[in-house]
Each structure stands twice: as C-alpha cells, then as structure tokens.
Amino acid sequence: MFDTGNTGFMLLASSLVMLMTPGLAFFYGGLVGRKNVLTIMMQSFVSMGVTTVLWYLVGYSLCFSGGEGGVIGNLDHALLHGIKITDAFGGSTGIPVLVVVAYQMMFAIITPALITGAFTNRVRFKAYLIFLVLWLLLVYFPFVHMVWGGGLLQKWGVQDFAGGIVVHAIAGMAALASVLYVGKRRVADSGAHSIPLVALGTGLLWFGWYGFNAGSEMKVDAVTGLAFLNTDVAASFAAAVWLLLAWTFEKKPKFLGLLTGAVAGLATITPAAGYVTPTAAVVIGMAAGIVCYFAVSLKNKLGWDDALDVWGVHGVGGTLGIILLGVFANWHVNPAGVNGLLHGNPDFFFKECAAVIGASAYAFIFTYIMLVLINLVTPVRVTDAEEQAGLDEALHGEAAYI
C-alpha cells in the first residue's frame, strides 16, 4: 500500500527539517553577546515543544482540513481525529498521512523561531510564549492553508514550493513589526560572541535545508533531485557574492558575511527550488547575495534594531524568491508548475507579486497589533536593569559560560 522508498525519504526529510531549529538556535546564539546566549537559544528550542502541542491540538486541522478556497481550515482533524495510521496521503506519493503531519509540523516549529533574532535581548519569556501561540494561530496557520492546504491563494494559482511566502516573507515582516514596536536596545550588545557557533548553526541549517526544499516534493523523483541541487547552488553563489561585497565595501573578507550570505541564498531559493532550472538558481543565488546585502545595509542606515537581520535575510530573501519564481518558473522542469514571465506568462508573475505583497502586509499588521494586545496583558519588553544584567541571568537564572 505504501511506497517504502518515498516514506523513508520523507521521514529523513522531516528529521532534517527538525535539525534546522537547533541549527537556528546555534546560529542566533553565536551572534549575540555572552549574557544573552541561552535566552535566544531557548526561544528556538521552546518552539519545538509549544508548537508541537498546538499542531497536534488544532494546527494540522486548521491548515489541511476543509476550508477549500478560504483563509483557514476547520477542526475536523483536531487532535488528529479521524486520521488512521493506514491512511495514505493523496496523489502518487505512497506515503502515510501521519508522515505529512510530522513533516509539516517541523515547518511550523522553525517559522516563528526565525522571528526571535529580530528582538533579541529585549523581550520577556512570558510575552514571547503568548506571541508564539497567537502568531501561529493568526498568521502562520492561515497562510499554510491558503498556499498549501487548498485555500484562497492556492486556488488563485499562487505557487510556493517550500515556503517563500509561508515561512520567510511572513516571518521577516513579523520580525520588522516586532523591531518597530519593541524599539531599540538600550544597552549596547557586544555583538557576535562566537562566530564558530554561528558557523555550526549555518552548517546545520544548510544541511537541514535539503530536507526543507527537496522534501517538499513529497516523493523521490527528478524534481526532488532538482530541488536539492538548486538549494546548494543558490546558497553557494549567494555566499560568494556576499563575501565579495563585504570585501569591497568593508575592506575585509568577513567569515560572518559568508555565512549570512549562504542563509540568504537558502531563504531566497526556497519558493523556487522545484520549479526552476539550475541556471536560474545561479541567478537567484547571486540576486540574493546582492539584494539582501544592501537590504541589511539599508536597515543599518535607517536605524532599525533588527539585531540578527531577520528582515534583511528572511523577509527580503523570501519576497525576492517569490518574485523571481514569477520570472523564472519553467513548466518543462516540473509539470506541476507553470511558466513564469521569462517563458511568456506575465499573469503568473503578477499573481506571485500580489500574493507576497499582501502576505507581507498581513503579517506586519497582525504582528504589530498582537504585540500591542499582549502588552496589555503582560509587559513585552524587559526593564533596563534586566537588559543591563543580561536576560540569561535576569529571566532564567542561568549562565552559558562560567
């Protein structure tokens, strides 16, 4: 009944995506000062627990049950009700539905964790937990349904192979809303205290991203291999371009720039990985290195305290990836896709642009409103004394280093 090869591959892909959340914790942990390492890492790890609980209770059902052509699903599969271990996922994949439940859960875990890099050193843990739950319910779950669950955008013809809109664009815009609401850090941070930790995190993210992108085909075929290769190609070209730009404008080849460029390339290729040729992936990777580098530079000039460049890397990268998918999409590499602007289909290009602009606006507005409402219940921002002491000790009574 089940295709053991496809099932085994999807279990492996799920494991790879799960590994990305600890990878993100190391990436962010290395980028902050020594007094705030555990706090930022905990914000990633706690999502593994809280999001899993919420996904089991209502998340999977709201994303993938009912609501055809709408904004959100229904609760028919709440607590995984009605899903048998023998139920097969639709189409020709030959994998159990429960494997899809697990795979999509890993996406849900990492997406809100991406946002935390923007407001590092400033947000209370209690407020973050409330934010985590509300953001999943009001932002992430609706967009999963609309893009992947038979909802409004999918019916309209919008495509997003592995999460340019669903993951990166909305998380990046939520990060920007958080930065503008919470405000700047009042205590100067010493900056990246451990670039080796950042390198470890980048390696885990890059490795896990193969499951993120190649696994989104939901089976093993030629498109799976294409998505895998495009992922590596785009990341590599983006890393090289970012390094050259940093070398040119900052006068030194920065390791941190190389690592950040790789992540920007990974985020940007995500929505297009299974729909474009490797040559297009080269262009997308180079564009990611250039556009995201200057987005971060713009952020610095504007004085936005996006501590770990979530908007510039994930928000801008995800948006750019969706736009370039609209340009380079090629039906010949994936019959499940469509042609883009370059192949004579401007309608698809405009749909992709409209969808990512609308999604970004929605995520920004809802995130800002959520933070305002959360602050009425419990303070979102830490006190100046807590920020001075460092959140590891002030909030959690722990220290990363003795």
Q: In Å, how far are 22, 244, 247 from 283, measured between CA atoms?
A: 30, 16, 21
Q: Residue range 337-349: average pLDDT?
A: 97
Model pLDDT, residue 188: 83
Q: Residue range 366-375: average pLDDT?
A: 98
Confidence class for position 91, pLDDT limits 50, 70, 90: confident
Enter the tokens of residue 51: 């999001």
Burial class (CB in 10 A: 0-12, 13-18, 19+), 378: exposed
Enter the pTM of the model: 0.96
Q: Write the DSSP symbol of residue 215.
A: G
Mean of the per-residue pLDDT values for the chain?
96
d(CA 23, CA 197) in angstroms, rounded, equals 9
Q: In Å, how far are 138, 235, 391 from 22, measured between CA atoms?
A: 25, 20, 20
Model pLDDT, residue 273: 98
Examine the pLDDT at 1 and tell me if it is beyond 80: no
Confirm if 261 and 310 have CB atoms less than 8 A apart: no
d(CA 143, CA 136) in angstroms, rounded, equals 10
d(CA 178, CA 381) in angstroms, rounded, equals 11
pLDDT tens digits along 121-131 = 999 999 999 99
Examine the pLDDT at 189 and tell me if it is beyond 90: no
Q: In Å, how far are 285, 382, 388, 394 from 124, measured between CA atoms?
A: 36, 6, 14, 10
Confidence class for position 13, pLDDT limits 50, 70, 90: very high
Least confident range from 53-67, 90-104, 214-228: namely 90-104
Confidence class for position 90, pLDDT limits 50, 70, 90: confident
- Measured in degrees and rounded to the nearest 5, phi and psi for residue 123 equal -115, 135
Examine the pLDDT at 191 and tell me if it is beyond 90: no
Q: Residue range 83-111: average pLDDT?
A: 93
Enter the tokens of residue 55: 């996904």
pLDDT tens digits along 45-76 = 999 999 999 999 999 999 999 999 999 999 99
d(CA 37, CA 41) in angstroms, rounded, equals 6
Model pLDDT, residue 370: 97
Q: Residue range 272-300: average pLDDT?
A: 98
Examine the pLDDT at 92 and tell me if it is beyond 90: no
pLDDT tens digits along 271-285 = 999 999 999 999 999
Q: Write the DSSP symbol of residue 272.
A: T
Q: Which domains are assigned to the chain?
A: 4-396 (1.10.3430.10)
What percent of the chain clears pLDDT 90, i.e. is strictly above it? 97
135 CA to centre of own chain: 14
- Rg (Cα) of the chain, in Å, rounded? 20
Confidence class for position 134, pLDDT limits 50, 70, 90: very high
